[in-house]
Structures are given as C-alpha cells and as structure tokens.
Amino acid sequence: MARFVVRRLVSMLIVLFAVSLVTFFIFQVLPNGDPAVRMAGKQPNETQIEAIREEWGFDEPVYVQYATTMEKLFTGDMISYFTQLNVVEEIWKGLPRTLALAIGAAILWMAFGVALGLYTAMRAGRVSDTLLTVLALIGISMPVFWIGALMNHYLGFELTKTLGFELFPNGGYVEFTENPLEWLHHLILPWIALSILFIGVYSRVLRSNVLDTMNQDYVRTARAKGVSERQVLLRHVLRNSLIPVVTLWGLDFAVVIGGGAILTETVFNLQGVGQYAADAIGQLDVPPILAVTMFGAFFVVFFNAIVDIVYAYLDPRIRLEESSA
Amino acid sequence: MSGPTLLSVDDLQVRFRTEEGTVHAVDGVSFEVRRGEVVAIVGESGAGKSVMAMTLMGLTRSPNAEISGRAHLGETELIGAAEDELQAIRGDRMAMIFQDPMSSLNPVYRVGDQIVEQIRAHTDVPETQAFGRAVDLLREVGIPAPEERARAFPHEFSGGMRQRALIAMGLSLEPELLIADEPTTALDVTIQAQILRLLKRLNTDRGVTTVLITHDLGVVADIADRVLVMYGGRIVESGTLDQIFYDPQHPYTWGLLGSIARLDRPRADRLAQITGQPPSLLSPPEGCHFRPRCPHRFSKCKQVPPLEARGGDGSHTDRCWLDPERKQALRTLESGEIGLEEPAA
Amino acid sequence: MAARDETLGPDRGGSEFSPSLEIELTAEERRAGLAGAGPYRLAARRLRRNRIALSFGGLFIVLVLACLAAPLWADHVAHRDYRDIPGSSETVTKGGEEVFVVGLDGVPIGPTWRGEYFLGADGSGRDVMVRLLYGGRNSLLIGIAATLITTFLGLAIGLAAGYLRGWVDNALSRLLDVIWAFPVILLGIALGTALALGGLKIGPLEVSGSSLAIPVFVIAVVYIPYLARPIRGEVLALREKEFVEAARAQGQGPLRIMFSEIGPNVVTTLIVFFPLLVANAVLLEAALSFLGAGVQAPEPSWGTMISDGVDRVVSAPHLAVVPGVMLVLTVLALNVFGDGVRDALDPRAKVRIEH
C-alpha cells in the first residue's frame, strides 16, 4: 500500500507541473495578439500596458516568462488590473464560501443519488422506476445556472412576496461566524440547485451498478451461506456497487470546487472563488482567471490522487495493478 | 456406509413462465439421499440439475418460477417453507458450493472474513473465535499457511485454492448435507483430481453427506456411491456406481458411458457421440424426452415411461420402455459402438 | 445451453431463463427470424420500436429545423432583425393598440402572440422569438460542430494511442490526463477568455476573437479526453483479437489496420457517445455564453439570452424562462434519444459520460 501511495504522489507532481505548463500556454502562448494588451483587460490604457509588459517580462524568452508567471502566482504577487486587488488574496477570501457550497452539495447529492439509485434498482422495470428515471434525465438536462436563477427568483423573491415572510432568501451569503442559522438558510437553495444535476447522474450510475452486482456469483454465495437478505444487500450488493461511485464522487467534488461552482455562485450571489472568476470574465480581466484556472486544476489533480489512494484501500485488487504507467 | 434417509425429494417440479411459454426445468424428480452417502447427479448442461439443487436450497426465487412437490431435509420441509426458516437452514444444515470459484467470493473482503460471515450468520460465536475456526477450516482442506491465507483477498488465491476455500466455507457449520454443483468444471484437470479427493476424504473421514452435480461421468467414478442420471428435467436412471457403470439400463446412459475414453476397454477408433441436440425445455418432446435422439426408439416411447426398478432389490431404476432382454441385446459396452445402431421398429 | 442464474433479482421485464446466451434476442425478434441479422440491423430495428426514443429524436430534429428557419421567420413573419437594437420609440401593435416595445419604465413588452414580437421584446427592444431562433441556430451549430471536431480528434488520438502504444501512447495519454485535470467549465472559461480579445492564429489561419469558431474550438478541445480515453481502452482490448493478428500476419501496415479492422468495431462506441456529446456541448456553450466566455454580444445564443434574462428577471421573467426551456428540451431530447440508441445497441452497455 505504501508503495502505491508513493507512486501515486510522484505521478501527481508530474501532472501538476504539466498543468502549470498548459495554463501558461493557454494564456500566454496560444492567443493571438499582444499579451500585455490582453492582460490589461477590456479597457486598457497605454502606460498600464507598458508597465505590464515590464512586470511580466513579455519581451523575454518564453521560459523566462513562464518562470515569472509561476513566481507571481506562488508568491501571491499578482494583481488584477481592473480591480487593482491582489488576486491570491481574493481567492483566499472566497474559498470558504466555495467550500461551503461544494461540500454541502456533495453530501446532499451523494445521499439522494444513492437512495434514489437503490430505490429504482429494487423496483426496476416498474412504473416508479420509469418515472424516476425520466425525472433523473430531466435533472441532467437542466443547466444549473438557469434552474438556480429561477429558483432564486421564484422561491426566493416571488414566494417571499406572496407569503409575506422569507421562506427562502433571495441570494447572498452569510458568514457562519456571524449567524450559523442564516448561513444554512442562505445555502439551502444553492445546494439544491447544484445537486439536481448530480443526483440525476448518480442515481442512474448506482442503479446500473446495483443491477449488475445483484447478478454476481458472490451474491449468490452469500445467500447460500444463509446470510439475511438485508445483510446481503448492504454488505455485498451496496458495498460493491458503491466502489466506482466513490471515485466518481471524488472526481465530481474536485471539479465542482475547481470550477463547477462558478455558475451557482454567480446566480445566487455567494461571492466565492467561482463568482470572483465569473466577474473577471465579464471584463476579460486575465490575472484572476489565470490564477483560478491553475489553482482549480491543481486542486483537482491533488484531490484525484487522494481519491485514488482511498479507492485502492477500498478495493484491494487495484493495489496490485499499478506496476507500470 | 448408508444410514437413515437424510434428504428425500418427491415429485419436485420447477417451471418458469417466460415470454415464449413455460419452461419445465425440473419435471417430476424423486429421489433419496441417505446419511453418509455420496450421490452423483449426472447430466448435460441444461438438464435441470442446477435448478433442482438451487430450489432445494431455496435459492430459486424468480417471480416467474412455479415450484411444486415436496422435499425434506430430515424432518424439515424445504418446499414452500417460510423464507426465514430456509435462511436458518441454508449454510447451517445444508450447504452448497458452486461452479465458478473465481467469481464466487466477494473480491473486497478477506477470505477469512467471508467464512466468519457464514459462521456468525447462524451462531453467536465472537469474531476472533470465528476467525480462528476459519483458519482451522482452511488448514483442513489443505491450504498451506492458513493463518496468512485467511487474511488474504480472493484475487490472491489460485482457482484450486479458491475452491478449497469455498469448500471450507461450506463446511464451517458442519452441515448435514453438502451440495457441490460442478465444483471442478472450471478447474484444470490436475486440480480437479485434488478437489475430488478432498471431497471424498471429507465424506469418509467426517461423514459429510454429499450430493455432487456434474456433467462428467469420469468425475463420478472416483467418489460416488450412487448415481442419478438426469435428462430433460427428469431422472432417467438411478443406481449404485457399479450398477450404472457395469449394467446401465438407459440408452442415454449408454451414450454417456460410450463417450468416455475408458482404460479398461479396448481402444476404439473414435469416441461415440450422442447425436442431436439437448431437448428444448420449452416444448419438450412428447413422451420420453430422449426419444428424438434415441437410436432404439419405438412406438411406445410416445408415452412417458415411468421410473421403475428392473428386478433385483429395487435399488436400480430406469425410465425406459425397452424390456431387460432387449436392452441386453442392444447394449454393447464397446466404446465407439453405442448409439450407432439403426432405430428399432 | 445453460440455465441462467435463477436467484432472486428484480424482474427486469424479460425472461430470466433464456436458452440461448449469445445474442440477446427477445422472443419477438426470434419469431421475426432475426437470428442471423447483423448487429446494426438488429439495433436499428430495436430503435425503431422504441417509440419514446424516436419521438424525442424527432423533437430534436424539429428544433433544429425551426432554428435553421430563423431567417425565414425574421424576414417574413416578424420583420425584425436579430441583432440591431431598434430606436427607443419603436412601437408595435398589441391588443389593438400601439405600444412602445420598451416601455417608459424600461420594461419590455410581453408576448403579443402575433407575428411581430411573438414572444415579446428583450431589454434592448429586440424581438425575442427572432433572437430565440437565431440563438438556437448558433447554439446548435456550435454544439454539433464542436462535437464533430471532438469526434474526429478523439478518434484519431484514441486509435493512435491504443494501437501504436509505446511512446506515442505515453505522450498522448499524458496530454489527455492534463486536459482532463482541468474542470470542464474552468478550461472553457480559460480558453474562451484568453482567445476572446485577440483571437486565434494557427499558422496561416487567423480567427477573430468574436468569431463563433472560437467557442467551437474551445468546446471541442475540452471534450476530447471524454471520447479519446474510452476509445483508447477499446482499441487496447481489440488489438489482441484474432482478426487483428490475422491482418498483421498478412502484412497490413498499422494505419491500414487501424482503419479497416479496428475502426468499424469502435464505431459502436462513437454512435453511442455522439448524441450525449452534443448534449454536453450545447450545455457547455450555454454556460460559457452565460458567463461571457462563449458567444460574444451582440450575437445571440440561448446562454446569452438567459444571462440577459436573469438580469431582468424581476420585471420580465419570461426572458429567462423561455430560452432555458428551449435548452432543456433540446438537451433532454438528445439524452433520451442517446439512451435509446445505447439500449438498442447493447442493453447492458456501461457507457456513460461524466459531467
């Protein structure tokens, strides 16, 4: 197991390096036009552009530029030319909010996705299965920013008008330290909006896994041993069905933090990292987007490594497989 | 070697309702197994052997299944009993091991823990004690270094070892009856011999009553006391090992015997085959199920032959209309000649 | 002939005891004498009988046709352009009266249910129905074009990596891993934003930042690993098969083998993936355009329309609802049809796309 962990972490470092290269490539090498102009955003002025060119070393060879960019990122010495605020600081400020959104949604969608998946698997072929599968499909087909915006408006705004009190708030974020209850209150709709898509996906994946697992020989053996049906379902069917789902969950969670939350935060005005990036897009303000992209991808790579290690712990067969790349 | 009756099956019928009609998987099977015996049930794939075994264990629970008849394990009725009753018996008084050891163990649990699961499904034995018992069982079935092996995962075992482990698991609660469904089919020939020897040893040394299901008569010769030949969902012949091998009464049995290479007979040019296909259980042939493939069929075969004893002490029964003298004349045990005679009038 | 496992399992609405295990024919199919038919013919027949999948497939076609007919609607029915912002005194007949398209309070009119401003006006006074159709045309065009590119490149990369193995496989797999490491939206935003200002220049090919080709390119690149990896996996499995070895023994070169032997077998995966990829591409385009990193104003797309609509959701919620509904219908149609295709080809395939 230890060897596996070491191998996995080394592989992770290589990918991180590659990610930094690709990010640099996307922003500095690939696009056409003057990089300094691009960095300055939608409404640049001449002096700014010159200063930027100097600071980022756009006259230097490519590898020097790369080094400069990485240095600025990792020492936290990058500012947005539009807002004049330090990029890394802003990311730190928004991070707890993004985490609150992502973690809450991840728990919600896992719980409901698994429950729904198990339920539809047990009732496969019947009407309830078809109905719920259709609902899952609709859930998958709805863009999160659209359903989120509508939920925010109709449940947060219109419903408040009708009821006279605020059953759901109309967007915004309340710090946990200020008011835990309100913090929760403001996250309910965003959590639901973000989860809908994933519940749809997970319920179908789990349903498929459960149906496959139920026909496995080892389930038959377990029954032949006289194990109670409930234990068979939990210890054999569910346990084995969940293994691939756990990896998926890790992947999706990392992706949500790394970028998927952007849309939900924007729509509900949660002022997290995602919204920070989204605001920058409107102004074509490059530095925040560069930083968020790279750190987002970093997080995904790092988290994936953790998930792989957990998976190897859960499914012992994997540990032997990692002999060569 | 044979004691009082342990398992008795009486007119067991198992049917499945499908889109295309009703499949008669088990069509009126009756037999007995006495304590301490090894009974082999032989037949082609699809003859209904596995279905029958699963039904006895209470594992045939498809909603399209129709089960009728009676079966007793000792005093306990097996057919139609309540699920929790059956569950109490399964694994405790009656154990079953299956064909494919590669997939019969859950890959994410240690082997020892899976044995412990069976023990604790029926008793209150504490975990550490149960684990110790698991180690002992593994040792008894001939697995080397059982303490380490018990902590290993199934994918770290070879096929033969896995089957031994499954046998160990089956015996963990000292069941009265062990049903082995094609335990050696998925294994190499050399490993096959080892597993069969193990099963035989468990039978003679520990008195484990065993029902061995197989399609391979060669496997049977080593360890069975009695043999039941199944075809198309029915028992077509039943008798002691010697009776079946030296005095077979049913043309299908002749075919099976003729198709094995035997060291005690002169060598033929080629092994005989039973021509034709196994019967469709959806629309089985009228009368005797073997009729379309039987070279000796005649007009009376359109009626279902009853399973009857032909003289002697009644221990040797068969399901064929031909009278004993005719059979004597038709039957030759020269391999290569069975089944090739022209159909009788 | 072997008995199936008759243990307890939920009744999947079919027979659990089927005499033949090789090809999963239903009783009807057997009766229809389809036993020897090729897999595609069998699949086509199954698909034809899946009315739900077919009707949703039809729905998608209807939507595409409607959007392609955008110029017809704009010129002959609505008499309005989809981009030009009309003057502030623009009026239209509604309920027998002449009303301002955008009221004095800044609120645009709602649906007139007549030719002009059928669904009302947006915040700038443009005809919503016209923009809806043109926006749909853009969204669908981008989605389909991007998927075609993804398919082409993903197939090429997957084939090369899987078949040639060695350093080619290593290099390509690493590349795929790196692209895969970026969350889809983030990568889309990064590329979209970076290219929006100056555009793209590959050799002699120069594309401006506001061109629709940019979102096509961005979305195509982002989804390449989603296709290339499964294809690579399939090719790895296929290359050990007998018919490939036979071809190799005949002296056929690798390129030839890739196309003639392995290619057709991989086609099934492609067919199953295609509708799902288009659905995802359309959703991604909407998300990117919503944020401003996709289609650039004044070009419409369902994403930009939702964005504009959300800005005005309090006064004119239908501006956000309508394009969203169109989007959901389109994606749903593709998903259901895609499911139907997958079921027809192999009812037990485990093909799925992660989001």
Q: Which helix (H) or strand (E) holds B308?
A: strand B308-309
Tokens of C240: 């050990």
Which residues from chain C sit within 8 angstroms of residue B282, using beta carbons?
19
**Tokens 């919620």 correspond to what residue?**
C317
Tokens of B207: 């008195």
Which of A126, A221, A236, A242 is best to mutate for the B interface (most B CBs within 10 A)? A221
B169/A225 Cβ within 8 A: yes
- Which backbone phi and psi does B51 adopt, to 5 degrees? -60, -40
**Tokens 């770290």 correspond to what residue?**
B156
The length of chain B is 345
A317/B155 Cβ within 8 A: yes
Question: Pick from B119, B135, B156: which residue ends a domain?
Answer: B156
Amino acid at A123: R
Burial A221-237 (b: 16+ CB within 10 A, else e): bbbbbbbeeeebbebbb
Report the distance separating Cα B196 and Cα B183, nearest Å: 9
Q: What angle do CA B88, B89, B95 make, to 5 degrees?
A: 130
Sign of CA dihedral A156, A161, A166, A172: positive
Q: Write down the pLDDT at residue C32.
A: 62
Across the interface, of A226, A229, A236, the residue whose CB is closest to B122 is A226
Across the interface, of C1, C16, C30, the residue whose CB is closest to B64 is C16
C15/B18 Cβ within 8 A: yes
Question: Pick from B156, B186, B216: which residue ends a domain?
Answer: B156
Tokens of B29: 């099977």
**Tokens 């008569």 correspond to what residue?**
B217
- Averaged over A189-211, what is the pLDDT? 90
Tokens of C126: 């443009």
Which residues from chain B sit within 8 angstroms of residue C7, using beta carbons?
54, 59-62
Q: Write down the pLDDT at residue C31.
A: 58
* Number of other residues whose CB lies within 10 A of the CB of residue C314: 11
**Tokens 């859930």 correspond to what residue?**
A139
Residues of chain B with pLDDT under 70: 1-2, 46-47, 259-273, 311, 332-345
Report the distance separating Cα C245 and Cα A201, nearest Å: 39
Q: What is the pTM of this model?
A: 0.78
B123 part of a folded domain: yes
Q: Write down the pLDDT at residue C9.
A: 26
Which residues from chain A sit within 8 angstroms of residue C13, using beta carbons?
124-125
Among A87, A207, A65, A75, which residue's Cα sits nearest to residue A136? A207
Question: Pick from B156, B172, B194: which residue ends a domain?
Answer: B156
Which of B62, B87, B277, B282 is best to mutate for the C interface (most C CBs within 10 A)? B62
How many distinct structural domains can be found in chain B? 2
Query: By the 8 A CB rule, do C307 and C234 touch?
Result: no
- Averaged over A82-98, what is the pLDDT? 85
The complex's ipTM works out to: 0.84
| Tens-place pLDDT, residues A45-80 | 777 778 788 788 777 888 888 888 888 888 878 887
Report the phi/psi class of residue B67: left, alpha or beta, with left for phi > 0 and alpha for psi in -120 to 50: beta
Report the phi/psi class of residue B250: left, alpha or beta, with left for phi > 0 and alpha for psi in -120 to 50: beta
Among A266, A284, A287, which residue's Cα sits nearest to residue A275? A266
Q: Which residue does chain A place closest to B84, by CA atoms?
A: A228
Query: By the 8 A CB rule, do A86 and A171 touch?
Result: no
DSSP-derived letter for residue A79 is: B
Across the interface, of B90, B103, B155, the residue whose CB is closest to A226 is B90
Report the distance separating Cα C125 and Cα C89, nearest Å: 10
**Tokens 């230890």 correspond to what residue?**
A2
What are A's interface residues with B at a Cβ cutoff of 8 A? 216-218, 220-229, 231, 235-236, 239-240, 243, 314-317, 320
Q: Write down the pLDDT at residue C301.
A: 92
**Tokens 């110029």 correspond to what residue?**
C71
Among C198, B157, C223, B179, which residue's Cα sits nearest to residue A220? B179
Which residue range is the domain that position B122 belongs to? 106-156
A281/C291 Cβ within 8 A: yes
Structural domains of chain A ordered from first start: 93-314 (1.10.3720.10)
B291 part of a folded domain: yes
| Tens-place pLDDT, residues C134-188 | 999 999 999 999 999 999 999 999 888 888 878 888 888 888 888 888 888 888 8
Report the distance separating Cα A290 and Cα A276, nearest Å: 12
Query: By the 8 A CB rule, do B57 and B88 touch?
Result: no
Q: Write down the pLDDT at residue C21.
A: 22
Report the distance separating Cα A270 and Cα B159, nearest Å: 57
A236/B106 Cβ within 8 A: yes
Which residues from chain A sit within 8 angstroms of residue B166, using beta carbons?
221
Report the distance separating Cα B79 and Cα B96, nearest Å: 17
Q: How crowded is the C-beta side of B77, counted as CA atoms within 13 Å?
A: 8
Tell me whether A132 touches chain C (CB under 8 Å).
Answer: no
Q: Please give the residue that has the higher pLDDT: either C140 or A294.
A: C140
Print the SS3 string covering A303-321: HHHHHHHHHHHHCCHHHHH
Report the phi/psi class of residue A260: left, alpha or beta, with left for phi > 0 and alpha for psi in -120 to 50: alpha
The length of chain C is 355
Tell me whether B282 touches chain A (CB under 8 Å).
Answer: no
- For helices B159-170 and B189-206, the axis angle rounded to 10 degrees is 20
Please give, rounded to a whole number of angstroms, the shortest distance from the CA of C13 to a CA of chain B: 10
Query: By the 8 A CB rule, do B247 and B316 touch?
Result: yes
Please give, rounded to a whole number of angstroms, the shortest distance from the CA of B258 to a CA of chain A: 34
Please give, rounded to a whole number of angstroms, the shortest distance from the CA of B205 to a CA of chain A: 23
B299 part of a folded domain: yes
Q: Which helix (H) or strand (E) holds A126?
A: none
Please give, rounded to a whole number of angstroms, the shortest distance from the CA of A10 to a CA of chain B: 26
**Tokens 């729905």 correspond to what residue?**
C59
Q: What angle do CA C102, C108, C114 make, to 5 degrees?
A: 100
Q: Any residues with CB less than 8 A from the CB of B249 and at least 6 apart, and which? A: B237, B239, B310, B316, B318, B320, B324, B327
Where do the DSSP E strands lie in B2-120?
A: 5-18, 21-34, 38-42, 65-73, 76-77, 94-97
B311 part of a folded domain: yes
B343 part of a folded domain: no
Which residues from chain C sit within 8 angstroms of residue A212, using beta carbons?
348
Please give, rounded to a whole number of angstroms, the shortest distance from the CA of A44 to a CA of chain C: 12
* Number of other residues whose CB lies within 10 A of the CB of residue B210: 22
| Tens-place pLDDT, residues A92-134 | 888 888 999 999 999 999 999 999 999 998 888 788 888 888 8
Q: Write down the pLDDT at residue C72.
A: 86
Tell me whether C193 touches chain A (CB under 8 Å).
Answer: yes
Tell me whether B98 touches chain A (CB under 8 Å).
Answer: yes
Across the interface, of C1, C17, C30, the residue whose CB is closest to B278 is C1
Across the interface, of A225, A315, A316, the residue whose CB is closest to B90 is A225
Query: By the 8 A CB rule, do B26 and C17 touch?
Result: no
The length of chain A is 325
| Tens-place pLDDT, residues A248-264 | 888 888 888 877 788 99
B26 part of a folded domain: no
Amino acid at B185: T
> For residue C325, what are the CA distances in angstroms to A161, C22, C63, C119, C321?
25, 43, 12, 13, 6
Among B18, B104, B90, which residue's Cα sits nearest to residue B55? B90
B90 part of a folded domain: no
DSSP-derived letter for residue A20 is: H
Please give, rounded to a whole number of angstroms, the shortest distance from the CA of B309 to a CA of chain C: 30
Q: Please give the residue that has the higher pLDDT: either C315 or A231.
A: A231
Q: State the count of interchain CB pairs (< 8 A) between B and C.
A: 57
Which residues from chain B sit within 8 angstroms of residue A243, using beta carbons?
108
Report the distance separating Cα B70 and Cα B55, nearest Å: 11
Residue B27 DSSP SS3: strand
Q: What angle do CA C176, C180, C182 make, to 5 degrees?
A: 135
Chains contacting chain C through 3 or more C-beta pairs under 8 A: A, B
Residue C184 DSSP SS3: helix
Report the phi/psi class of residue C43: left, alpha or beta, with left for phi > 0 and alpha for psi in -120 to 50: alpha
Please give, rounded to a whole number of angstroms, the shortest distance from the CA of A272 to a CA of chain C: 15
Q: Write down the pLDDT at residue C277.
A: 92
Which of B94, B96, B106, B114 is best to mutate for the A interface (most A CBs within 10 A)? B106
Please give, rounded to a whole number of angstroms, the shortest distance from the CA of A6 to a CA of chain B: 22
Residues of chain C with pLDDT under 70: 1-39, 95, 242, 263-264, 346-355
B6 part of a folded domain: no
Query: By the 8 A CB rule, do B288 and B319 touch?
Result: yes
A231/B105 Cβ within 8 A: no
Which residues from chain B sit within 8 angstroms of residue C3, using beta carbons?
25, 45-46, 48, 50-51
